[in-house]
């Protein structure tokens, strides 16, 4: 039986999407990081090309926008594509357990298609959307299947103007993503956005303009 995962403060991961993230649209701790040090590395798989702290690195705190996740009786925090487990009063960088669910994709991710199914990749981890749980499950990559790769996605950065809760932010991100994708018929979580290659750049720009307008209308600053 699969272990039940609870995400605190996110109302059962309602309306997730997005990434993420901390989600489809949030501040990216990974993408803002500079060249690697003895505590960090470059993840170049699938041309992802983002820097992350090494697993095993211990930190006194986690990123401000990270969320708390419980799985199998263990407590984790998740943000910027990085997972942390409690280590006394501090936090240690770890790999996520398979089967854990999160409401948001990492802030910067690469869509990798295996056998016609999209997987979202970041920091040596793979996420798959599950309709039944309304969230993203951390899974193992399928074996012996040749992947096809969509362009890495760098998402909008949104700041709540009205002290919206994390649950409300997750819901607003998801609903604005769905609205923008419907309006522009461009979905950045799909390979090549589900549009012809010649239209990719212009349709992507339209999508992000629509996303920005939607979020600004819900009292967020967007950049």
Residue 50 · residue 123 · CB < 8 Å? yes
Q: Following DSSP, what letter does each residue of 59-89 receive, concatenated? A: ESS--TT-EEEEETTEEEEEETTEEEEEETT
DSSP letters along 93-109, please? Answer: EEPPPTT-EESS--SEE
CB count within 10 Å of CB 42 equals: 13
Spell out the domain ranges in the chain.
5-149, 155-222
For the chain, 223 residues long, give each residue's pLDDT as a single digit of tens.
444 444 333 333 333 333 333 333 333 333 334 444 457 999 998 888 899 999 999 999 988 878 889 999 899 999 889 999 999 999 999 999 999 999 888 878 888 877 767 788 999 999 998 878 888 899 998 776 677 665 555 567 788 899 887 667 767 877 888 898 889 888 776 655 567 777 777 888 898 899 899 999 999 998 7
Pairing state between β 82-87 and 74-79: antiparallel
* Separation CA 221–CA 223 (nearest Å): 7
């Amino acid at each position: 039986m699969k272990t039940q995962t609870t995400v605190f403060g996110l109302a059962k991961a309602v309306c997730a999407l997005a990434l993420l993230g901390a989600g489809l649209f949030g501040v990216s701790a990974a993408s803002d990081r500079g060249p690697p040090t003895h505590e960090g590395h470059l993840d170049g798989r699938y041309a992802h090309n983002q820097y992350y702290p090494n697993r095993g690195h211990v930190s006194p705190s986690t990123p401000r926008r990270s969320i708390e996740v419980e799985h199998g009786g263990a407590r984790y925090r998740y943000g910027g594509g990085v997972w942390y487990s409690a280590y006394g009063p501090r936090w240690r960088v770890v790999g996520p357990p398979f089967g854990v669910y999160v409401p948001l994709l990492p802030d910067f991710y690469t869509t990798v298609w295996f056998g016609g199914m999209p997987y979202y990749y970041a920091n040596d981890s793979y996420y798959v959307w599950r309709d039944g749980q309304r969230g993203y499950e951390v899974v193992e990559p399928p074996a012996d299947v040749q992947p096809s790769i969509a362009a890495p996605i760098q998402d909008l950065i949104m700041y709540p103007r009205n002290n919206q809760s994390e649950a409300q932010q997750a819901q607003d991100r998801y609903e604005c993503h769905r609205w923008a994708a419907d309006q522009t018929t461009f979905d950045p979580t799909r390979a090549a956005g589900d549009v012809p290659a010649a239209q990719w750049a212009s349709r992507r720009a339209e999508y992000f303009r629509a996303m920005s307008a939607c979020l600004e209308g819900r009292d967020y600053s967007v950049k």
